[in-house]
Structure 1
Amino acid sequence: MEEEGQLRSLMFLIPYLLLKRRRDINNLNIQRRNEIQRRIRHRQYFFQRQRRMMMMMLAGGIRSNVHIRTRPWTTTASTDWWERTVMTEFEPSDWLDKFRMSRQTFFYLCEKLKPRLARQDTSFRLALPVEKRVAVALWRLASNVEYRTISTLFGVGKSTVCRCVRDMCHAIVALLSSLYLRPPCEQELEDSAELFLSNWGFPHCVAAVSTLHTAIITPSNNASDYANPAGWLSVMSQVAVNGRGQFWDVCASFPGGTDPTDILQNSSLWATAAEGGLSPATPPIFMGKPLRYVLLGEPCYPLQNWLIKAYPEERGRRANQTALTQQQRLFNRQLTTAMRVPEEALLRLRARWQCLSKRNDCGLDVVPTMILACCILHNMCESHGDPFKAEWQEEVVSAESPQPSHKHLLSTSMDDGPAEEVRQLFCDYFEQLNT
């Protein structure tokens, strides 16, 4: 009986295994057939794509052969505008007008960014040269025109324009910050102090701190946080400018409604300056006393022994407050004159790179990097001696909205007590100078 039971079980098991084996073979055949069909479709797609590209190249060659070459570059077809016109016919003034830098600086920039921007050709597409990628991005930064306009001009897709702008801004910040946006050495501190004294009449000062507002489109979240004191939406940046009008430190990406004091205290500049990083190890002598170099700031910043601001003009108008003395008013006038350094530097920055003066329609994830990249490019152009055209500045002054003022944010609660003695030393200096 036991053997019969085993035989009966075996009779049921063998047909089941045969059926399962047949089902597995059928499934495997179906998968193999589907894979073959997928490969056939994939190959047909690329053959058709390659054929279309060949037809487009042939059509472009025919059009370029029958095209009559004219001198005005504005009438050149976009397919060869870059290769034939910009690279061969652009005059020095054209490079300045369109790319905001000289031809020499442009190719220097391309060489520096090549490790990040160079791309390899593929079987179906030629990679854009680094020079063209940089030119596309610079055109956007300099003019702030729509991607569609740049796309038509350079003969590339709108998505390519967007990628070029993003890639170049990130590459500039990654590769050039250590060269053009870094803390100063002792010699640079001394040079900046001499420039503040000789050009603006303010001694023992190496930099001035100010704010920059960049207009943006309405963000999807927390839009009210980006409303600045002037009433429009912006991203606010804090900048430190040396005596040459170049940026030593930039802290970007804060909503336009942020208190400048909060930005300062959360920046690397605060930590560096508070620890004496913006002064030689042995403090220089000022008014007979060893004193670290100071920075100048707007009234919205707290008074520190390294950050000097003007006496509040409203003191004399409030109840129980004494009016400013003649000595204090003289100090305020001298400091206001010296604060023209960051004002003029920011005006030149916005005039050269108009993506910072007009409303920037890029995403909030790109705008801070774009601001940093523009500051680095500003320093690079200034250090290379590239000309700056006065009409750029006139255009910005007449067209853009005025930068918001933070004078109503008079910060006194966080003023450092010993810093008042430092400010008094400067008052004594200007009084002696005028006696």
Structure 2
Amino acid sequence: MDQSFLLMLSNLLHLHNSIDPTTSLISSPTSTTTASSASAASSPTSLLTSSSAAPLLFFTIASVLSYIASSRPSSPSSATTPSAPAASSSSNPAAAAADYSVSAFRALSTEHIWSLEAPLRDAQWRSLYGLSYPVFTTVVDKLKPHIALSNLSLPSDYAVAMVLSRLAHGFSAKSLAARYSLEPYLISKITNMVTRLLATKLYPEFIKIPVSRRRLIETTQAFEELTSLPNMCGAIDGSPIRLHKQNLSANYKCRYGYPSVLLEVVADHKKIFWDVCVKAPGGTDDATHFRESLLYNRLTSGDIVWDKVINVRGHPVRPYIVGDWCYPLLSFLLTPFSPNGMGTPAQNLFDGMLMKGRSVVVEAIGLLKGRWKILQDLNVGLNHVPQTIVACCVLHNLCQIAREPEPEPWKDPEENGMPPRVLDSEKSFYYFGESLRQALAEDLHQRLSSR
């Protein structure tokens, strides 16, 4: 018989005896029985043969209480502290899974999280999901109606949290499945659903070309304060995103020797992306990738109209973006005169300022990979690689707009390469860009020299 049950029953008998000593169930003070019979009478098991109704009543009560006690979880505190898993969780899969259950997440998001001061709360949320609690709720609110249409059996905020945890820490589907007690295929399915929604439903809202006059003036003025160059509205650069899969064709091998796909972004002065393109394997050069992008087609066709034109030495200067020498020189994309400082003083000064403006996109890419570590070794199916990268870019913009603390940036190796050749279809853009660049260089040199 269970020891806890016997102890509980014995306590009940003693309680009865103290309340009503005239009908002691343990022993009678006037009894003349032997020590052995007294011992037998005092045993809880002797109640089973008693003719009194009271022992049977107490036996029934004790049985019910024993059953209730045995059915309660032995460690109720585990559900109230999901953010601080026990040290033994790594060696106990069941305990680790409990830390990441729906009930544990609910306790964290609705109870424990509000017992903390806002800075501590948000710091804890960033360590788990890569962004603060208010930004997280913004993401959930925007995705919830779309997730509801998928008939997902998990709560929307829990599913989003799980995917953000994977993006922020770079977990594989298999490792996340063990943590959340779900099958790896289900983790992949949920990841693909959430990243697809981020890359399609939220992209138009958070990644937009600065065509409105107010935003365009704000952007060009900020770049002019940084570089002294007028009408600059963005900086472009490409970066290879390493793929976890190794058995890919040779055209996926980037200039650094690992399999990848190429990410191209244009960023503004706040390190917010206003264009994102992922259309080429890692072995593609930046110029080719740019020429295959929708942005290039819109710029060359005149589809994008920037309503801000200034005059520099007789040249009409429309808003333009800047890039390094791996990009073609065009009227809307200015590049340095020389990659090694072999130009005139005016040209070298222009190159230095141009590269200073370009630095914002380098920093933005570093923050993107530092904040969403899955991009350091992307472990999703090849078909879902582009949407996962774009989803991380959307989340990056959300964080920059909300002024989230910037993490330690990821550093890509220094770029090198030859300037691309000019295509026949680009010659008019090239010649105009060449004269425009020279006019800007001479104007900049004269303005700064006269100070």
| Pairwise same-fold verdict (TM > 0.5) | yes
Q: CA contact under 8 A between 1:102 and 1:386: conserved in structure 2?
A: yes
The answer as to 2:321 corresponding to 1:292 is: no
What's the RMSD between the two structures over aligned residues? 2.5
The answer as to 2:362 corresponding to 1:343 is: yes
Please tell me the residue identity of whatever aligns with 1:118.
A
The answer as to 2:447 corresponding to 1:433 is: yes
The change in CA–CA distance for 1:156 and 1:87 in structure 2 (over 3 A counts) is farther
The change in CA–CA distance for 1:146 and 1:87 in structure 2 (over 3 A counts) is farther
Query: 1:367 corresponds to which residue?
Result: 385
Query: 2:238 corresponds to which residue?
Result: 211
The change in CA–CA distance for 1:69 and 1:173 in structure 2 (over 3 A counts) is same
Query: 2:200 corresponds to which residue?
Result: 174
Separation in 2, partners of 1:275, 1:284? 21
Query: 1:31 corresponds to which residue?
Result: none
Shift of 1:151: 2.3
Separation in 2, partners of 1:195, 1:141? 31
The change in CA–CA distance for 1:189 and 1:282 in structure 2 (over 3 A counts) is closer
TM-score by length of 1: 0.75
Please tell me the residue identity of whatever aligns with 1:381.
C
Query: 2:219 corresponds to which residue?
Result: 192
Please tell me the residue identity of whatever aligns with 2:112.
E
Separation in 1, partners of 2:343, 2:206? 41
2:166 to 140, 156, 167: 140
The change in CA–CA distance for 1:195 and 1:277 in structure 2 (over 3 A counts) is farther
Deviations 1:226-251 (A, max 9, x none): 11111111110111111221111111
Deviations 1:352-388 (A, max 9, x none): 11111x2112111111100111111111121122233
Query: 1:74 corresponds to which residue?
Result: 85
Separation in 2, partners of 1:153, 1:180? 32
Separation in 2, partners of 1:250, 1:413? 23
1:88 to 104, 111, 135: 111
Query: 1:409 corresponds to which residue?
Result: 418
1:418 to 427, 432, 435: 432
The answer as to 2:351 corresponding to 1:332 is: yes
TM-score by length of 2: 0.73
The answer as to 2:251 corresponding to 1:225 is: yes
More moved, 341-350 vs 411-420:
411-420
Q: CA contact under 8 A between 2:312 and 2:440: conserved in structure 1?
A: no
The change in CA–CA distance for 1:279 and 1:67 in structure 2 (over 3 A counts) is same
Separation in 1, partners of 2:72, 2:354? 61
Larger-gyration structure (1/2): 2
Q: Where do 1:228-307 residues align within 5 Å?
A: 228-281=254-307, 283-287=309-313, 289-307=315-333
Separation in 1, partners of 2:335, 2:142? 39
Q: CA contact under 8 A between 1:181 and 1:376: conserved in structure 2?
A: yes
Aligned-residue sequence identity (percent) comes to 23
Aligned residues: 353
Query: 1:127 corresponds to which residue?
Result: 153
More moved, 193-202 vs 162-171:
193-202
Please tell me the residue identity of whatever aligns with 1:362.
V
Please tell me the residue identity of whatever aligns with 1:363.
G
Unaligned runs of 5+ in 1: 1-60, 317-322
Unaligned runs of 5+ in 2: 1-68, 87-94, 114-120
Query: 2:13 corresponds to which residue?
Result: none
Please tell me the residue identity of whatever aligns with 2:378.
N
Separation in 1, partners of 2:128, 2:279? 27
Separation in 1, partners of 2:242, 2:136? 27
Q: CA contact under 8 A between 2:206 and 2:397: conserved in structure 1?
A: yes
1:154 to 180, 183, 192: 180
